[in-house]
Amino acid sequence: MEPQALEKKTSSVFIWTRILEAPFWTIYGMLIFILCKSLHAPPLQYTLLIALKPLVSLVSPYWSALIHKRPDRLRLNVILADLIAHIPFFFFPFIQNTWFIVGSGALFFMMKRGIIPAWMEILKLNLPQKKREKTFSYGSTLSYLVSIVLPFLFGRWMDLNPKAWTLLFPLAALLSLCGTALLLRISLSFEPQDKSITNFSLKNAFLKPWKNAWHLYKTRPDFTRFQVGFMLGGGGLMIMQPAMPAFFDRILHLSYTEIALAISTFKGIGFALTSRLWANRMNRFGIYRFSSFVTLLAALFPCALLLGQFQLPWIYGAFLIYGVMKAGSDLSWNLSGPIFAKEEDSSVYSSVNVVTVGIRGLFAPFLGSALCGLTSPVWALFVGGILCSIASLQLNLFQRRTSFIKE
């Protein structure tokens, strides 16, 4: 396939996969609220789901390790992971056990985290850098645009029929897998590898992600500084998550329609309006300064959310801010691997990003849950916002040091 045709096909497939998986991400975003409102699960269970989402990131690198220096496995890696991720949701009409639902949600997130390095390497192999960033931004924007409309349908249906989610999940999963199948239509541009050097070893498979992470931390202090900033900012956001169900249901008494409108529609509007703007600015700012703007918006999010106790529109404004933040965060987090890797294999850097998400998942959600239990959801939101503010200051400081060293 001609290079230009390959670029066009790769961009098209990535964009369509993001569009077709949008309905699933919309209903998946409602999962902790379904556990809280419809199934009356104890706080431990939805806190565990929140914690497992980052914790499974500690396992995800073992999936992505299978494609290290093996570009011939990239497509198969993504397709198999997506199949495994979605299959449990086809059983939701028959099984409403809360532990099964928690496990399904965690498995889905683990596999989706695991394929990020493969997807980023596919884009790196087939697309030049500028087109890579535009494709990622455009696909994400269209995905969020789809999510703007869906909450009206999903939320209203669940308010009228509390069991509607048992059908929404399998239908959305089927649509998402249709997008995954499009990967079969593209080829990859890479040099043949010597497969003899990649003999499988259980010990090596277990240790490789941690060795890769340790090697990068020792040899790439610039990448380590990026991880410190995102550890603080991401930790702050994770502390806030356990407060959401209780804050929305018990303090604000929101319906499914209002919740969906906030977390999908207004978040989607914020994302869609600014995604291209973030992409255009990414090359102009250093990665640290770019990320500092992201964490600053993350700090403003709980401030607006807390004002929702007095006027409901503040809730929608908060998620509008969150959507703007998410547009920048997705670019920074997902494309930082290729940015720091330059001409190296970017999957190693992306895998380390996934590992650090898991590390902060060991403590941040449980700290948020403890704050909710000992005090109130308000304090969890406040502490999370403080951490995001510190992250923003820290990343700005790293950018200034880097600029000083270059001069």
Q: Which of 287, 278, 289, 281 is nearest to 396 (CA)?
A: 289
pLDDT at 405: 39
pLDDT for the residue numbered 124: 80
Q: Is the pLDDT of residue 172 over 90?
A: yes
Give the pair of three-digit tokens for residue 192.
Answer: 């043949």
Return the DSSP state at 150: H
Helix, strand, coil distribution of the chain in percent, nearest 5: 85, 0, 15
Question: Higher pLDDT residue, 407 or 284?
Answer: 284
pLDDT at 404: 41
More confident residue, 125 or 175: 175
Tell me how far apart the alpha carbons of residues 253 and 264 are, in angstroms, rounded to a whole number: 18
Render 285-332 in DSSP notation, one character per residue.
S-HHHHHHHHHHHHHHHHHHHHHTTT-THHHHHHHHHHHHHHHHHHHH
Contact predicate 314/265, CB 8 Å? no
- Of 44-53, 167-176, 261-270, highest mean pLDDT: 167-176
Residue 343: Cβ within 10 Å count: 6
Given the structure tokens 């329609």, which residue do they identify?
Answer: 257
Q: Which residues fall within 8 angstroms of residue 208, CB to CB, at 6 or more apart?
A: 65, 68
CA dist 117 and 336 (Å) reads 11
SS3 assignment, position 333: helix
Report the pLDDT value the prediction gives residue 60, as an integer from 0 to 100: 65
Look up residue 134 and give its two tokens.
């535009």
Highest mean pLDDT among 97-106, 196-205, 368-377: 97-106
- Is the Cα dihedral 76, 79, 84, 90 positive or negative? negative
Q: Please give the span between the terminal C-alpha atoms of the chain, in angstroms, as a whole number.
A: 44
At 68, is the secondary structure helix, strand, or coil?
A: coil
Helices (H) and strands (E) in the chain, counts: 20, 0
pLDDT at 61: 63
Residue 186 has a pLDDT of: 81
What's the pLDDT tens digit per position in 67-100? 656 667 788 888 998 999 999 999 999 998 999 9
- Does residue 309 have a pLDDT over 70? yes
Kindly tell me the sign of the dihedral angle through the C-alpha atoms of 375, 43, 254, 385: positive
Q: What is the pLDDT of residue 17?
A: 92
Q: Is pLDDT larger for residue 298 or for residue 405?
A: 298
Amino acid identity at 61: P
Contact 67/125 with Cβ under 8 angstroms?
A: no
Average pLDDT over residues 16-29: 90
Q: What is the mean pLDDT of residues 52-77?
A: 71
205 to 79, 228, 304: CA distances (angstroms)? 21, 26, 45
Could you tell me which residue, 112 or 43, shows the higher pLDDT?
A: 112
pLDDT value of residue 240: 93
User: How confident is the model at residue 174, as a pLDDT?
Assistant: 96
Instruction: Name the residue type at position 394.
Output: Q
Would the CA dihedral through 393, 229, 304, 334 be positive or negative? positive
Q: Which CATH architecture has domain 3-187+216-406?
A: Up-down Bundle (1.20)
- Full DSSP string of 156-224: HHHHH-TTTHHHHHHHHHHHHHHHHHGGGG-----PPP-GGGG---HHHHHHHHHHHHHHHHHH-HHHH
Structure-model confidence comparison of residues 280 and 100, the more confident one: 100
Mean pLDDT, the chain, whole residue set = 83
Specify the pLDDT at position 59: 72
For residues 385 and 321, give the distance between their C-alpha atoms in angstroms, rounded to a whole number. Answer: 13
Distance between CA 391 and CA 396 in Å, rounded?
Answer: 9
Residue 64: the pLDDT is: 63
Q: Is the pLDDT reported for residue 163 higher than 80?
A: yes
CA proximity to 29, closest of 195, 150, 116, 113: 150
DSSP letter, residue 162: T
Instruction: State the pLDDT confidence band at 130, using cuts at 50, 70 and 90.
Output: confident
Note the pLDDT tens digit of each residue in 310-329: 888 899 999 999 999 998 99
Asked if pLDDT for residue 197 goes beyond 50, the answer is: no
pLDDT reading at 374 higher than 60: yes
Task: Determine which of 4-8, 34-38, 56-60 has the lowest per-residue pLDDT on average.
Answer: 56-60
What per-residue confidence (pLDDT) applies to 210?
75
- Give the residue from 14, 13, 312, 268 showing the smallest Cα distance to 150: 268
**Among the ranges given (46-55, 76-85, 95-104, 158-167), the one the predictor scored with the smallest mean pLDDT:** 46-55
> What was the pLDDT predicted at 100?
94
Closest CA to 336 of 325, 348, 324, 323: 348
Closest CA to 341 of 167, 124, 151, 166: 124
